Amino acid sequence: MSTVSEALGLKVHFRLSQGGWNRRSGPVIRAVDGIDLTIEAGETVALVGESGCGKSTLGRALLRLEEPSAGVVRFEGHDLTGLSPELLRRQRAGMRMVFQDPYASLNPRMRIGEALAEPLRVHGLATGRAARHAVAEILEVVGLDPAVVARYPHEFSGGQRQRIAIARAVIGRPRFVVADEPLSALDISVQAQILDLFADLKARFALTYLFVSHDLAVVRHVADRVAVMYLGRIVELAEAETLFMRPAHPYTQALLGAVPTPDPARERARVVARLPGELPSPAAPPAGCRFHPRCPLVMPVCRTDDPALLHVDAGQTAACWLHRRAEAAAPSSLERLGLSHAHPHHQS
């Protein structure tokens, strides 16, 4: 397997201007605050977490649509951080974003045909007849009549518009697609169809996805692996089945404990309601484990020491001191063989 997208020690901080003359005095929002993530070719990695935890910022930073404050972002092994605008544009052809609101991502004054041909032109992939041919072909792939090229975005339903936005994202044959809540603005009845389209395109074009979603049923359906974010960090990263069956981080457990409802806003509120206390500001994350003020299992070490992602199980890591013992668990086989003197009372 080859690595498609990679973040190493990635931070994206925003300095908020106070509005006064001293623009350097505002608080620093630590939207992404130290993330390592490797996405392999052909995978779908889902990104979940409460509103404001940094999911969109991470997705954008992986495509270098946000400037990293620290760390490295690579695409297919190329470091994107130090690239000239020309080289960056060349890499950008291979990675695209699909947004929540298809209407916002389509120019209302541009006919569908022009909107779809634009990325081909920008990346120097095709013009004229070749472009028209590619547009007709991609429209068919996403389930639309090629005759729609002469129409405008407002003439379509939300689901059709999302198909157009997706067609625009994949027409240049990217290898990596970041989909940021691509179903959230759609009617429930349409969501399953768009989800099928993502699956179809993945198989057809050998795509790799980062799929941002707060809908855990969707995540369970699409994801090979799931990354759970909290306050700018990944707190758990695991294979989807493992994460849903045996969530290791107390925050993941709280998220999964939330009963899903069809209304995303209510669902979010419910997740938060299950956890004591407020979500702290990303401008001032708590010391030690960032989750400690809300964690039902908090221990003294959690208030002072910041846990890194620790090995929990095959294909599962969690940033939580509860799993420190799992890290040190290897010698326990010696104990079981009676070779350890550490816990004499455990020997029979």
Positions that interact with Mg ion (CB under 5 A): 56
Q: What angle do CA 82, 84, 89 make, to 5 degrees?
A: 110
Instruction: Give the x-and-dash track for 225-254 against ligand SF4 (CB under 6 A).
Output: ------------------------xx----
329 near ligand SF4, judged by CB under 6 A: no
Which of ligand ATP, ligand SF4, Mg ion, none does 320 bind, CB closer than 5 to 8 A by kind? Answer: ligand SF4
312 near ligand SF4, judged by CB under 6 A: no
C-alpha span between 220 and 260 (Å, rounded): 12
Distances (CA, A) of 53 to 14, 71, 214, 230: 13, 19, 11, 5
Count CA atoms within 13 Å of residue 245 on its CB side: 7
C-alpha span between 16 and 102 (Å, rounded): 28
Which of ligand SF4, ligand ATP, Mg ion, none does 31 bind, CB closer than 5 to 8 A by kind? Answer: ligand ATP
322 near ligand SF4, judged by CB under 6 A: yes
297 near ligand SF4, judged by CB under 6 A: yes
CB of 185 to ligand ATP, least distance (A): 12
299 near ligand SF4, judged by CB under 6 A: yes
C-alpha span between 194 and 187 (Å, rounded): 11
Helical (H) or strand (E) element with 95: strand 95-98
Per-position DSSP letters for 186-201, written without gaps between them: S-HHHHHHHHHHHHHH
83 near ligand SF4, judged by CB under 6 A: no
Instruction: List residues binding ligand ATP (CB under 6 A).
Output: 14, 16, 29, 31, 49, 51-57, 282
Binding positions for ligand SF4, rule: CB under 6 A:
249-250, 289, 291-292, 295, 297-299, 302, 307, 320-322
